[in-house]
């Protein structure tokens, strides 16, 4: 990626100067303290033969400078793995796993003619798969970053892309032929660093998350010790633990595909979504779903000489192919955050807005499982997840859980089912916050745009409402044209109760999964909760005192 700093605002330019100085400073430190390991990562990147982006290029006037960000990220990823696993995974072992699973790494958008082999589809043999270099891919897959597995020359490999934020005008037009500028493609806004995380920690957290997805994948050798292909859960359903790959699709060599003109209309369908279609040669509107066929991406199906057996972390599938267990995102994300914290201890610059419920469940499982193993257990669950996640998956599958209604399931699906319901916004919390319920509340209070005002408070990403959150929420709800203190108090009390019940579910995971020494794990959780409450109270008092200082003067504050 090449950024012309002269084209960016002054604040963003200064942030790039800080970014460059920090990367170079830390790399010098690593090179001195860990020379052999530093050179190992350097060599691994070189061995990808250009399939790993190595630098972010910064252009100032006539000056071109290179920030060796991939060297830093890969080095820190391996060092962090060693730290969070308490040495159970060595730096060198993590380097082998990382570069064995991620043979292509891009910061910025995929390059046509170079990355066409990376396909986005439902399966390895999906003949409607889409090259990540196509415009169609950016139309249907609005992600800020992604990991992909694909087969190249008969072997399984992987790629990770961290995309650049842009707009659909580079991809699509409206029905009048004008570029679509009001709809953005997801990714990091490299050209504007005025808000959000620092660029360095954004790249750390994003790269570590996607690399963890690759680390949790396992190419299995089928032996007596391998997890079973299918198993019957306590709930009576059958699930599959891994995929058997016998054939795959790939792009024909030197196939230069051409795409039609994609249109995102200003019209909306019955669900309120902007209509999408493409234009054929005659300018006639055609169904957007047929765009794959029209583009003729030149995919060919090939047979593998030998089957590949791949386990995808904690995910399972029903025999019909339906995917389960969004909870795996919680383990991936919590591991990534822990890695960032291990590299920069005490940092407050962590993005915590994603996968709240999934992350909280991952925290509980990791703490309880490690504690159940005694003094030697510290870091073991992180190690299992990164190096052989099928072992962790099987452990969770073999734990029988009796739910409150008397029904049975296994440990994996006990947490995974809740994660799936949270994603679908079907839990008690999300039902309470649903548009249908909150619209009635807002209507009675004479409120407009309440949801947008409430969102920054972070009340969906907490186990307990802080005093500050309660006061701000009350102020928002009371700001309507028909304020009703009793109704507002009832809403806040009811939501606080919902959070308490969700928190009880989280804290009960260790007991439900039947880990040994679970009192130790739960005691740790309780002590941390008490510490969090104390810190929250202190933070609130300091804020009150600062407010007093502003309103009554410094002398009153000191008294």
Q: Sign (positive/negative) of CA torsion 384, 385, 387, 391?
A: positive
Domain check: are 439 and 479 in the same one? yes
Looking at residue 461, the DSSP 8-state letter turns out to be S
Percent of the chain with pLDDT over 90: 70
Domain check: are 495 and 435 in the same one? yes
Q: Look at residue 235 and tell me if it is in a domain.
A: no
Domain check: are 438 and 497 in the same one? yes
* Cα-based torsion angle of the residue sequence 198, 202, 205, 207 in order, rounded to the nearest 10 degrees: -140
Domain check: are 496 and 449 in the same one? yes
pLDDT at 543: 53
User: In this structure, are residues 473 and 459 in contact, taking their beta carbons and an 8 Å threshold?
Assistant: yes
The token pair that represents 280 in the structure block: 């054929």
Domain check: are 496 and 545 in the same one? no
Domain check: are 550 and 525 in the same one? yes
Question: How many domains are there within the chain?
Answer: 2
Distance CA 115, CA 112 (A): 6
Domain check: are 445 and 494 in the same one? yes
pLDDT at 198: 95
Domain check: are 452 and 487 in the same one? yes
Domain check: are 481 and 530 in the same one? no
* Longest Cα–Cα distance in the chain: 81
**Strand locations in 216-362 (E):** 217-220, 230-232, 238-240, 243-251, 261-268, 274-279, 285-287, 299-312, 316-317, 323-324
Domain check: are 460 and 521 in the same one? no
Q: Look at residue 531 and tell me if it is in a domain.
A: yes
pLDDT at 355: 94
Residue 154 parent element (H or E): none
Q: Look at residue 365 and tell me if it is in a domain.
A: no
User: In this structure, are residues 475 and 483 in contact, taking their beta carbons and an 8 Å threshold?
Assistant: no
Domain check: are 482 and 453 in the same one? yes
Domain boundary among 459, 479, 503: 503
Place of tokens 């700093």: 5
Whether the model pTM is above 0.75: yes
Q: Look at residue 269 and tell me if it is in a domain.
A: no
Distance CA 277, CA 174 (A): 10
Q: Look at residue 496 and tell me if it is in a domain.
A: yes
Residue 187 parent element (H or E): none
* Residue 486: domain span: 428-503
Per-residue pLDDT tens listing for the chain (559 residues): 899 999 999 999 999 999 999 999 999 999 999 999 999 999 999 999 999 999 999 999 999 999 999 999 999 999 999 999 999 999 999 999 999 999 999 999 898 888 999 999 988 999 999 999 999 999 888 889 999 999 888 889 999 999 999 999 989 999 999 999 999 999 999 999 998 899 999 999 999 999 999 999 999 998 877 899 999 998 888 999 999 999 999 988 778 888 999 999 999 888 888 999 999 888 889 988 888 888 889 899 999 999 999 998 898 888 887 777 789 999 999 999 999 999 999 998 999 988 999 999 999 999 999 999 998 999 999 999 999 999 999 999 999 999 989 999 999 999 999 999 999 999 999 999 888 888 888 889 999 877 788 888 999 999 999 999 999 999 999 999 999 999 999 999 999 999 999 999 999 999 999 986 444 334 444 334 444 444 544 554 555 445 445 444 434 333 2
Q: Look at residue 359 and tell me if it is in a domain.
A: no
pLDDT at 323: 76
Domain boundary among 503, 527, 549: 503
Q: Look at residue 372 and tell me if it is in a domain.
A: no
For residue range 190-220, what is the model confidence (pLDDT) as tens digits? 999 998 899 999 999 999 999 999 999 999 9
* Of residues 303, 355, 301, the one with CA closest to residue 328: 355
Distances (CA, A) of 125 to 104, 128, 240: 21, 9, 18
For residue range 257-308, what is the model confidence (pLDDT) as tens digits? 889 999 999 998 888 889 999 998 888 899 888 888 888 898 999 999 999 9
Q: Look at residue 190 and tell me if it is in a domain.
A: no
For residue range 225-253, what is the model confidence (pLDDT) as tens digits? 789 999 999 888 899 999 999 999 998 87
């Amino acid at each position: 990626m090449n950024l012309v700093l002269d084209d960016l605002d002054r604040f963003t330019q200064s942030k790039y100067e800080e970014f460059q100085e920090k990367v170079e400073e830390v790399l010098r430190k690593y090179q001195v303290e860990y020379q052999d390991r530093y050179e190992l990562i350097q060599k691994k990147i070189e061995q990808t033969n250009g399939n790993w982006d190595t630098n972010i290029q910064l252009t100032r006037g006539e000056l071109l400078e290179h920030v060796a960000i991939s060297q830093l990220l890969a080095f820190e990823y391996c060092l962090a793995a060693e730290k969070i696993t308490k040495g159970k995974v060595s730096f060198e072992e993590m380097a082998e796993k990382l570069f064995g699973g991620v043979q292509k790494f891009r910061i910025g958008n995929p390059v046509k003619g170079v990355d066409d082999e990376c396909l986005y589809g439902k399966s390895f043999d999906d003949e409607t798969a889409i090259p990540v270099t196509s415009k169609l891919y950016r139309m249907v897959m609005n992600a800020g970053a992604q990991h992909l597995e694909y087969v190249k020359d008969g072997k399984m490999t992987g790629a990770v892309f961290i995309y650049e934020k842009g707009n659909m005008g580079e991809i699509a037009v409206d029905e009048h032929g004008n570029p679509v500028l009001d709809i953005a493609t997801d990714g990091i806004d490299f050209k504007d660093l005025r808000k959000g995380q620092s660029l360095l920690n954004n790249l750390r957290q994003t790269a570590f998350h996607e690399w963890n997805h690759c680390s949790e994948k396992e190419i299995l050798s089928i032996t007596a010790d391998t997890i079973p292909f299918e198993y019957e859960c306590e709930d009576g359903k059958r699930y599959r633990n891994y995929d058997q790959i016998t054939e795959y699709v790939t792009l024909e060599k030197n196939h230069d595909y051409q795409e039609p003109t994609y249109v995102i209309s200003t019209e909306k369908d019955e669900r309120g979504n902007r209509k999408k279609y493409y234009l054929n040669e005659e300018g006639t509107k055609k169904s957007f779903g047929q765009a794959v066929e029209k583009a003729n991406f030149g995919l060919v199906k090939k047979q593998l000489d030998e089957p590949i057996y791949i386990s995808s972390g904690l995910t399972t599938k029903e025999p019909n192919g339906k995917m389960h267990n969004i909870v795996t995102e919680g383990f991936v994300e919590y591991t990534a955050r822990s890695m960032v914290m291990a590299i920069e201890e005490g940092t407050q610059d962590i993005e915590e807005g994603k996968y709240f419920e999934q992350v909280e469940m991952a925290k509980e499982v990791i703490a309880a499982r490690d504690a159940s193993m005694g003094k030697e257990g510290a870091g073991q669950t992180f190690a299992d997840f990164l190096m052989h996640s099928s072992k962790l998956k099987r452990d969770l599958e073999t734990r029988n859980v009796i739910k409150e209604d008397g029904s049975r399931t296994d440990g994996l699906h006990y947490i995974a089912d809740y994660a799936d319901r949270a994603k679908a916004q079907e839990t008690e919390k999300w039902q309470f916050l649903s548009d249908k319920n909150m619209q009635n509340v807002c209507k009675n209070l004479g409120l407009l745009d309440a949801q947008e005002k409430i969102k920054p408070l972070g009340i969906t990403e907490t186990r307990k409402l802080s005093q500050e959150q309660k006061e701000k929420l009350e102020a928002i709800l009371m700001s309507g044209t028909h304020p009703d203190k009793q109704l507002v108090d009832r809403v806040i009390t009811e939501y606080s109760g919902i959070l308490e019940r969700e928190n009880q579910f989280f804290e009960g995971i260790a007991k439900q999964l039947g880990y040994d020494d679970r009192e130790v794990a739960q005691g740790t959780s309780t002590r941390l909760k008490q510490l969090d409450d104390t810190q929250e109270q202190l933070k609130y008092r300091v804020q009150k005192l600062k407010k007093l200082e502003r309103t009554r003067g410094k002398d009153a504050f000191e008294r």
